[in-house]
């Protein structure tokens, strides 16, 4: 029974000592202040998207071509000094493109009505649409 008594006495002394000298818990250190402002949100990487449009208007001075959406909105495609213009595998010039040509390539969206053209891969006159031929009903097969 002596070991149990000794353990109880030690426990009592420990509790009494801690109650007699309460030490406040150390306050967490404040975060160091910096004079540098937080980094601004980095701009999203510009997404290059495929393009296949009929040129409704061409402005060789402003280096733009415009197409009209099904809803009637005019969308401007800007040619820059970085734009690569090809006709198939041969280099071409913006002045080679005519109103009515279908232009294929890639562009980057700048706004809902403005794009920056990255590359033109080909352009050609829009194919003429053929009127659908009326279907004639096939005669019923006899058994």
pLDDT tens profile 78-97:
999 999 999 989 999 999 99
Total residue count of the chain as it appears in this document: 143
**pLDDT band for position 28 (cuts 50, 70, 90):** low
Instruction: With respect to residue 37, please indicate whether it lies within any of the assigned structural domains.
Output: no
Residues of the chain above pLDDT 90, percent: 51
Instruction: With respect to residue 84, please indicate whether it lies within any of the assigned structural domains.
Output: yes
**Structural domains counted in the chain:** 1
Instruction: With respect to residue 25, please indicate whether it lies within any of the assigned structural domains.
Output: no
The SS3 call for residue 7 is helix
pLDDT value at residue 34: 58
Is residue 9 pLDDT above 80, yes or no? Answer: no
Task: Record the pTM.
Answer: 0.58
CB atoms within 10 A of CB 15: 10
Residues 6+ apart with CB under 8 A from 75: 53, 66, 67, 68, 69, 113, 114, 115
* Domain residue limits at 106: 48-125
Instruction: With respect to residue 16, please indicate whether it lies within any of the assigned structural domains.
Output: no
Average pLDDT over residues 110-136: 83
| CATH number, domain with residue 106 | 2.40.50.320
pLDDT tens profile 45-71:
689 999 999 999 999 999 999 999 999
């Amino acid at each position: 029974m002596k070991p149990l008594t000794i353990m109880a006495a030690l426990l009592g002394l420990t509790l009494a000592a801690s109650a007699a000298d309460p030490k406040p818990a150390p306050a967490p250190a404040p975060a160091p202040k910096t004079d540098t402002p937080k980094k601004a949100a980095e701009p999203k990487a510009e997404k290059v998207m495929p393009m296949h449009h009929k040129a409704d208007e061409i402005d060789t001075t402003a280096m733009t071509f415009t197409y009209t959406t099904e809803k009637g909105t005019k969308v401007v495609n800007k040619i820059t000094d970085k734009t690569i213009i090809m006709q198939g595998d041969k280099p071409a010039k913006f002045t080679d493109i005519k109103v009515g040509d279908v232009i294929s390539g890639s562009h980057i969206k700048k706004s809902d009505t403005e794009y920056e053209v990255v590359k033109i891969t080909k352009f050609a006159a829009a194919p003429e649409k053929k009127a659908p031929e009326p279907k004639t009903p096939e005669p019923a097969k006899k058994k």
